[in-house]
Structure formats: structure tokens, C-alpha cells
Amino acid sequence: MNIVKNAVVSMNYKVGTAAGEHVDASQPGEPLVFLCGHSQIINGLESALLGKKAGDKLAIDVAAKDAYGEVDDELDIKVNKSMFPKDAQKNLQEGFQFRAEHPTKEKTEVTFTIHGIEGDDVLVSGNHPLAGENLHFEVEILEVRAASSEELDHGHVHGAGGHHH
């Protein structure tokens, strides 16, 4: 069958930036398995896969806006340590993540990561590490099947490469 919404797709993939920098890849013998149409992979990749079938080998370019989004300068900010709860202040370190509201977009929650601490200043970014990157995927589709009604109820794949429960 061809890839449509609610199909279960198994595929090998490799992804890099447009500049050729390696980002991620499936491991040999461990394909990525996902339920199509449920936001389990990035939009731009999923839409390029629609209509394709097992055996297809594809090279797909996905623009940043259809991958991890453009860089939002408003999300690279410096905040004072005192902005954090008292008991969190002494534990702040690089890599620490927290959710907070977007500085100017009301009711939009963003995951921020601490990128550095300089005295009382904490440098944080709410941009995904791959924001602003155009991505290049190489995909080999191994299997396409219809999801079971149970998988559709749960919104995820069962069995190999999926949930076991």
C-alpha cells in the first residue's frame, strides 16, 4: 500500500544539515516506525512521504520552517538568576531545561535550555538546536501497512519499533 494518514511506516533514514553535517540516523536493523498523520515526525518529511511505498528510496530536502522552525531571536535571552525560584537558583547549570511563556507571544509555552551562566546572568535559548537549519533526508521505505484499530485508538504503533504494553 501507499503511505497515507494512519498507515504504519517502517523506514531507514539518515538526516543531515544542508551543509552536509550529520544529524541523526536510524541504526542498522532498527528502522524508525511511526504512525503517519499523528505528528510523530517533522511535518515537511511526512508530507514528502505521502503516496510513497515499500522499496522506495528517496532524497528529501526539508526547509527549516517545515522542520524545527526558523530561529526566533526573541528566544535567545539573558535573564537574571533572581528570575528563577529560590531553591532552583543554586542548581542552575548548562543544559538545564525549563518551560516558560514566550517573551512576547502570550499563551505560547516554550522549552528553554540554559547555555551559560556568567555571574548573575543566565543565558538561555528557547530555539531548538536545529532551528533555522534546512535538512536533507535520505530515506529507504521498508514496510507500509494499515494501523490496527487498537493502534489508532492509542495513537501509536504496537510491536517491533513501537510500544509494548
Output the smallest distance, CB 156 to Zn ion, in A.
5
Q: Which is nearer to Zn ion, 132 or 162 (CB)?
A: 162
CB of 45 within 8 A of CB of 63?
no
In angstroms, the CA 151 to CA 165 distance is 12
In angstroms, the CA 49 to CA 124 distance is 35
Q: Is 42 exposed, middle or buried (0-12, 13-18, 19+ CB in 10 A)?
A: middle
- Comparing CA positions, the residue from 105, 123, 121 lying closest to residue 113 is 123
Q: Which is nearer to Zn ion, 38 or 154 (CB)?
A: 154
Q: Which is nearer to Zn ion, 78 or 163 (CB)?
A: 163
Nearest-CB residue for Zn ion? 154
Q: Which is nearer to Zn ion, 99 or 165 (CB)?
A: 165
Residues 6+ apart with CB under 8 A from 119: none
Output the smallest distance, CB 143 to Zn ion, in A.
19
163 binds Zn ion (CB under 5 A): yes
Q: Which is nearer to Zn ion, 105 or 163 (CB)?
A: 163
Output the smallest distance, CB 50 to Zn ion, in A.
24
- Comparing CA positions, the residue from 67, 47, 38 lying closest to residue 3 is 47
Stretches 36-44, 48-56, 90-98, 157-165: which one binds Zn ion (CB under 5 A)? 157-165
154 binds Zn ion (CB under 5 A): yes
Residue numbers at the binding site for Zn ion (CB under 5 A) = 154, 163
